[in-house]
Each structure stands twice: as C-alpha cells, then as structure tokens.
C-alpha cells in the first residue's frame, strides 16, 4: 500500500487529512545548521506539520555543535541527537550508532552522506530496520580524508556496500543518481527524488527595487548580478567577480551582490579589489529575506565548474520564482529548470567577456513572469505537496 492509498486527500492538493502511525525514521546528517540537506529536511518537516501530519523523525548529527535550525526541528516534534563519537574514530562511531539504532527501534534508516553512508549501513547490519535508504545529494563522490590514495582505495568498496546493503538508492537529480550507480543499470530500487521548494515566500512578493538599492547604498539605476549560495570553490564565486568586471565595461551600472558565506569570502573581496570593482560588490552573508532580495535583482549567476556537476540547485529554482534571468555554467543539470526559464548556459572556457555579453542579451528580454514560474513549480515534482508525498512513499 502506498502513502497516497492509505490516506484521504485534502483540499490543498494531495496531502492527507487522516492520521496514522508514521514509521520511526532516523536521519543521519552532518548537523542541523545551514546545509542544504538539513534545511530541506526541516522544511519538509514543517510542511508536514502545517498539514496536520506528525512525523516520527530523529536527526542523528555527526557534529557536536548546535545548528541554526536545531531548535526549529525540535519545535516541530523531531528528536535531535549528537553522535558521542567523531566519525574519524570509525569503529567507536559505528558502535555508538549501532547502539542508537538498536535502542531507538527505528523502522527506517535514512542515510544522507552519499558514499560515507556505507558506514551507517554497516552499523545497522543484523538489526530489524525495515527500510535502509542511501540518499545521494551531490555527484562529487568525495570522502572525508585529505589523502587522494585513500579516496581512490575506499571509493569503490564503499559504493558496493551502499548498493549491496540498501533497499533504496535515492538521487536528488537524474545526473546525481546515474553518477552514484557508476554506469550500472537502474533497477526498481533506484529513484530520483527532487527537493521540495517552498513557493509561499515568493508568492505576492513585490520586490521593491528602489528600497533594496537604497539599503545597499546603490544608485537607483543599478543592475544587480546576484550570486546566492556558499562561497566555496565548488560554486566558483571568483569567476562571478570576473564576469562582473567584464559586465561593467558594457553596463557601468552593473553591481554584484553575494548572498551567502564560505571559505572564499576573503578571496572574493580580494579579487574584486584586484579587478578594480571592489566598490561595486556587496557581501550580504546569509540572509532570511531571500525572496525580497532576489526579486529586486536582475540576473542570477552560478558558474559552477563543469565537473563534477551540481547535484540540485535549490537557489536556481528560487531565482526562477523571483523572476530572475539565469547565467549558468554547463556544470548545472537541466533538472532544476522550469519550462519558462530565461537562461543562458555557457562554458567557463568561453571567458567572462562572453558571459557578460550573454547577460546583456538576457537583459534585453522581458523579465520572466513570476506567476508563470509559480504555476510551473506547482505542477512539478519540486512542489512541496508532491515532494512530501514522494518522500514518505520512500519509507513504504
């Protein structure tokens, strides 16, 4: 019996009105901070709660530090545990996790660490866990060791453990799933599950362009190129600075806004200074008013390196809902793009000048209709109702 079969459908779309006992789910995550995975899970938990559903979820966090959304998860009825042992102490870590799985009598083990999930599956060997999921959230296939030799040595054995001991392999995009399967054929066990994207914050948001520019001490005529996300090498924010410098040569009113944080914050500022555009850069850090800021911008840029490709760009979907024109590298898959997206996908090797020219071409096009984007999202697997239904279906 599927989740949809076992519940009635309510007026909001297809979520249940009738309650029943939910499976006990243990989510193994890094910690409930600002990571995309953890924030998505808490959003799904909140959406279920707002629709009258009480999910029996426990988060088992690898890090001992308290995260930004930990209290929110607890307020929604989830339990939050921190591993008493660091992952680097592998044998002790596995013993501690095994004790928790046995003590908690979980129905579902939901592992969110790609290849590293092999350790969690080993911890559950022989225990009466009904469903064991490996959720693959990116195509990087990295392991938590600086040794390239260990990376090569462990990668394939850990992949085989994941494939052999799990009941489901779940990818967040078509490309991510196929990468994890490493050329092997898909079976009925292997599925794609897209993140649910909240449309509510983007509905009826009239971006006050003048107010945003005033808050950022910008001219009212400024054209804003937005980079939103982690400022880390795999997102390539340095290239965005180079595009801005090229863009200002053809559009002097162009400015760059960087919304996010990460290891390359200082490098972004230094590179802007080197290229002489430091006065045209605004560093905002992490923000809670993402829809308002996005809707006041003109372009969204994500110049991710082309290999490995992005897993799933949540910010890309949000940028579309805000009515932004998209400048994307070929490291971005098609999955997060809605049918009416106004987008240019370019090779990094084409250089910043070509990207700047594409930005000007997009600027000449009508701004995407946010209402159309919202409607297209509601009809996609990324809608919250469908995403939650499909997520709970993985546990059946």
How far is Cα 106 from Cα 392, in angstroms, rounded to an integer? 15
3-state secondary structure of 227: strand
Distances (CA, A) of 272 to 113, 139, 254: 35, 30, 13
Quickly count: other Cβ atoms within 10 Å of residue 316's Cβ: 25
Distance of CA 129 to the CA centre of its chain: 27
Residue 126, phi-psi category: left (phi > 0), alpha (psi -120 to 50), beta (remainder): left
State the pLDDT at residue 21. Answer: 67
3-state secondary structure of 70: helix
Residues 164-191 have pLDDT tens digits of 999 999 999 999 999 999 989 999 999 9
State the pLDDT at residue 207. Answer: 66
How far is Cα 171 from Cα 237, in angstroms, rounded to an integer? 26
Q: How many CA atoms lie within 13 A of 112 on its CB side?
A: 20
Could you give the domains of the chain? 3-194+381-393 (3.40.50.2000), 200-377 (3.40.50.2000)
Token digits for 88? 């680097």
Contacts of 289 (CB under 8 A, 6+ apart): none
Residues 41-87 have pLDDT tens digits of 999 999 999 999 999 999 999 998 899 999 999 999 999 999 999 99
Contact by Cβ (8 Å): 139, 308: yes
Spans of the chain below 50 pLDDT: 1-20
- Sheet hosting strand 325-329, strand order edge to edge: 281-283, 254-259, 223-228, 299-302, 325-329, 343-346
How far is Cα 148 from Cα 95, in angstroms, rounded to an integer? 27
The set of long-range contacts for 393-396, using a CB threshold of 8 Å and a minimum separation of 24, is 393/2, 393/3, 393/4, 394/131, 394/133, 394/168, 394/170, 394/191, 394/193, 395/23, 395/25, 395/107, 395/108, 395/131, 396/1, 396/2, 396/3
Residues 296-324 have pLDDT tens digits of 999 999 999 998 888 888 899 999 999 99
3-state secondary structure of 96: helix
Tell me 132's DSSP state.
E
Token digits for 322? 């805000």
Name the helix (H) or strand (E) containing 361: helix 352-363
Please give the full DSSP string across 18-69, using - where no structure is assigned. S--PPPPEEEEES-SSS-HHHHHHHHHHHHHHHTT----EEEEESS-SPPTT
How far is Cα 133 from Cα 138, in angstroms, rounded to an integer? 15
Contact by Cβ (8 Å): 330, 306: yes
Q: pTM to 2 decimals?
A: 0.83
Q: What is the 3 state secondary structure string of 155-189? A: HHHHHHHHHHHCCEEEECCHHHHHHHHCCCCCCCC
């Amino acid at each position: 019996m599927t989740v949809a079969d076992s519940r009635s459908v309510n007026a909001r779309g297809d979520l249940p009105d009738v309650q029943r006992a939910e499976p006990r789910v243990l989510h193994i995550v890094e910690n409930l901070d600002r990571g995309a995975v953890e924030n998505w899970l808490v959003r799904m938990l909140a959406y279920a709660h707002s629709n009258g559903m009480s999910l029996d979820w426990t988060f088992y966090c690898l890090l001992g530090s308290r995260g930004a959304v930990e209290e929110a998860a607890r307020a929604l009825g989830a339990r939050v545990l921190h591993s008493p042992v660091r992952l680097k102490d592998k044998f002790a870590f596995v013993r501690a996790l095994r004790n928790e799985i046995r003590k908690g009598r979980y129905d579902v083990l939901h592992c969110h660490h790609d290849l590293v999930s092999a350790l969690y599956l080993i911890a559950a060997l022989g225990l009466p866990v009904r469903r064991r999921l490996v959720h693959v959230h990116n195509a990087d296939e990295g392991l938590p060791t600086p040794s390239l030799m260990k990376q090569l040595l462990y990668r394939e054995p850990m992949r085989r453990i994941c494939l052999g001991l799990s009941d489901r392999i779940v990818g967040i995009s078509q490309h991510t799933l196929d990468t994890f399967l490493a050329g092997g054929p898909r079976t009925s066990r292997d599925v794609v599950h897209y993140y649910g994207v909240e449309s509510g914050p983007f509905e009826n948001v009239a971006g006050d362009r003048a107010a945003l520019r005033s808050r950022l001490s910008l001219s009212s005529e400024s054209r804003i190129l937005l980079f939103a996300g982690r400022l880390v090498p795999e997102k390539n924010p340095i290239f965005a600075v180079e595009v801005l410098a090229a863009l200002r040569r053809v559009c002097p009113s162009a400015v760059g806004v960087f919304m996010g944080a990460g290891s390359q914050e200082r490098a972004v500022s230094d590179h802007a200074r080197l290229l002489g555009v430091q006065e045209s850069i605004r560093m905002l850090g992490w923000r809670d008013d993402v829809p308002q800021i996005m809707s006041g911008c003109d372009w969204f840029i994500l110049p991710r390196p082309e290999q490995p490709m992005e897993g799933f760009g949540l910010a890309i979907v949000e940028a579309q809902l805000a009515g932004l024109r998209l400048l994307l590298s070929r490291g971005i898959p098609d999955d997060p793009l809605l049918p009416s997206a106004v987008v240019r996908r370019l090779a990094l090797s084409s250089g910043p000048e070509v990207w700047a020219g594409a930005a000007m071409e997009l600027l000449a096009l009508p701004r995407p209709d946010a209402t159309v984007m919202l409607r297209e999202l509601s009809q996609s697997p990324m809608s919250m109702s469908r995403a939650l239904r499909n997520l709970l279906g993985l546990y059946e």
